[in-house]
Chain A
């Protein structure tokens, strides 16, 4: 039997050996053949020397989640032979570097082990240690191309694009590719019965990681101040913003910048800078991860109470504490939702893929300025640092940024007296003025108790008046935040809720369950506080699975807390080992739960 366009390739290499470009080449070549594909990185918290993997899922059906199986393993790292061998599906293949005698570890009867002397080739053909290592990586691209029937012309044109200005590089890379390609063709039956075939599944699609998309979104949103402290897995977000700004935010005549990126001394300073800039009317943001949120908490509460817009990207990683910095989780829901002491709660946005990272960057700035409060975009390592196939990003030319209720000099001039914290419109959102605009706009921003007129207070009623009004604002937020994505059929009695990177695995799982005759309704939540659509979805079902990537069922807790969802209905399905969730996990859990007697 021949399987077409449904194959998982995993490549095990050593961190710091330049395998990323080889892996990218492979992934892009498949994409250019019109075949949907995703790429996931499994990398160590290390710069050089430790094992690292890249997993390419060729997914003709377009599913984006991790597959949870490996069909073709490229085992370039002898340190991990044992583990890599064990991971291959029965009937699968493993390629290794046969320059040296085959390791006794590489023995399995139910798979095909293919030896290719990559190092020997490269040592014969190329000069210098570095070049030999790099070319060895490129050579396995050739071997995989032969085995899976990937179009060599496409690989050639990709190399030509990459090395447009260095033609000698094209030649040497092609030479390395041919070494692997030809050897594989001469010594094995190519292609394998599991292979790729050109199709038309990528028109209008791009492959992008969430951090790049979010950085691009910030540039398009008109963010001018970005403050940050480096932390995996959020760092590449600011890197992307910087690159895009370098390209589009430098005055061609004067060379001057219309952006200001400040590498802060820590996350406390980063969020302080964001608040200072936002107070002054700039769209400002900070990307971080869980440990950064912990440090920022005092200021986040300040911004909630003093009502200052701020955009925070939390690219979540595995906690607690330092946890596993290069592994993924959705474990900061509670710490973000209720960051800081006192009665605080914050608006959260949940992008489900990189495209939503782009659009939600815009939404985040709009909502932060509309609601005058911090907005946190909860991405995660899986979305932020992996290569997803998403529809091409579209710019809506009719987009009008929502700057919120900011008074102009003319409006202030006409006013008798301006009060910063007065709820004039009844939506819980007061008007604000920006420093330097008009003397009448002056007010004193403070985190201490204040009256609705903005004055310092220790008076119980006056204090309570303001924090109660913040609840009115909270309800406004609930109404205007992005709505959940819901798939509902009356025929189904059981629902499934997830958010963020859980989406891809759940959508795939629901299709799989449906094909077995088990129908579930679906709700992918996009924001906190939860809109009435979420409440309704829960009310419509007797059982609702809540799929999330943390140990403590944090989304479930929020549902119970925020909309008083019936906790008896909410069945947690929790995936929290640090790897991206996959559809098999969801399918197996749903089947197991229904076997226990819960309806499905």
Chain B
């Protein structure tokens, strides 16, 4: 593999965002993943989302662990800082990075192996702290990079290429996140960019922990018949329960939405998420209802997608701790201690 800088050719007439940048400006180096890998489609959706949001590239921090999925931050927004950490530990690095600088926008990209096995502890604790980040799991049911072993998200009955079936309960990141109290929980499919881009935009602008679990098939090790994470299986069984539009702060809500089926939710950045319920009875603001619905449908073999739960009222990590608004990393050091005389006073207690 090598590091190839892609030429950034722009065409007149291509759309620009509010910063005057083209989608091309949000690209990264050329992917070295297998042709057809779901992860590359997720990369494309991320590029589209940050382009549409008009994110300043250098204000975005791309965090990841280890795996095919975790390599992808190299393939989008070259002008952003990236931190490709160690296996399963992206959440802690992001937590610390965020602690130091709360002004950056954090996107963590990880795999089902990275987040549900070796890193499951860090995954759940990042939720518990409500770290302000967009947490993308590129979920393919296998360890792609180590050549196709089952991951903890493999469904019961799902088969390997050789035909062995998994018989252990899967860990579902979405229901895990609901039970832990994550504040933005979505599921998408790498093959449905139209649905995925707004889910990512909502997740990136949400204040607090936003999980986007994305079924992202591994064409090399888990796209055969009998796999429940293949393109074919996902296409056949997936259901949008909601669709969302993300309306930025500067724009008005123009489209008319039918009463009862839509729900506008104000975001902290001033934007709005307009949520269209495909199933009228679905209530994405109730943890209990979301959990029940999800369990029922997944027992029926369906893969439920969309924005599944949202709570904009909860405080994120810095608010919970009562930290100053200025990024801690930008505070001048000489203002962080009380100086010579006070050091004398402090020591009176040591006499």
Contact = CB atoms under 8 A, between A and B. Distances in A.
Interface in B73-124: 73-74, 78-86, 89, 91-101, 103-104, 121-122
A446 B96 contact: no
Given A254-B324, A277-B99, A392-B347, A439 B57 contact: yes
A31 B351 contact: yes
Interface string A280-291: 111110000000
A283 B333 contact: yes
A552 interface: no
Contact of A401 (B89, B93, B333): B333
Contact of B329 (A28, A224, A249, A392): A224
B99 A260 contact: yes
Contacts of A284: 96, 99-100
Contacts of B92: 227, 264, 268-273, 276
B95 A276 contact: yes
Interface in A218-232: 219-222, 224-225, 227
Given A224-B336, A439-B58, A260 B86 contact: no
A438 B99 contact: no
Q: Interface residue tally of chain A, by bracket? A: 35 or more
Contact of B351 (A206, A445, A457): A206
B156 interface: no
Nearest to B124: A265
Interface in A3-53: 28, 31-32
A260 B323 contact: yes
A181 to B, nearest CB: 23
B54 to A, nearest CB: 14
Nearest to A456: B3
B121 A266 contact: yes
Contacts of B98: 276
Nearest to A158: B351
Contact of B336 (A208, A219, A443): A219
B328 A224 contact: yes
B271 to A, nearest CB: 21
B97 A279 contact: yes
A277 B96 contact: yes
B238 to A, nearest CB: 33
Given A208-B350, A272-B93, A435 B79 contact: no
Interface stretch (B180-188, B223-231, B337-345): B337-345
Contacts, number: 229
B14 interface: no
Contacts of A207: 350-351
Nearest to A438: B58
Interface string B1-23: 11100000000000000000000
A283 B58 CA distance: 21
A441 B58 contact: yes
Contacts of A266: 121
A517 interface: no
A303 B294 CA distance: 41
A207 B334 CA distance: 26
B336 A249 contact: yes
Nearest to B328: A224
A448 interface: yes
A130 interface: no
A480 interface: no
Nearest to A274: B96
B61 interface: yes
Contact of A456 (B74, B80, B99, B344): B74
A259 interface: yes
Contacts of A280: 61, 96-97, 100-101, 104, 327, 329
Given A222-B333, A445-B82, A455-B3, A256 B322 contact: yes
Given A272-B95, A392-B344, A436-B58, 7 more contacts: A208-B347, A269-B122, A279-B97, A439-B56, A443-B82, A444-B73, A447-B85
Interface of B: 1-3, 56-59, 61, 63, 73-74, 78-86, 89, 91-101, 103-104, 121-122, 125, 129, 318, 321-325, 327-331, 333-334, 336-340, 342-344, 346-347, 350-351
26 contacts: A219-B337, A220-B337, A221-B337, A227-B96, A268-B92, A269-B125, A272-B93, A273-B99, A276-B92, A276-B96, A277-B329, A279-B96, A280-B97, A282-B99, A282-B329, A302-B86, A393-B347, A394-B343, A401-B333, A435-B58, A435-B61, A437-B58, A442-B58, A442-B80, A447-B86, A458-B1
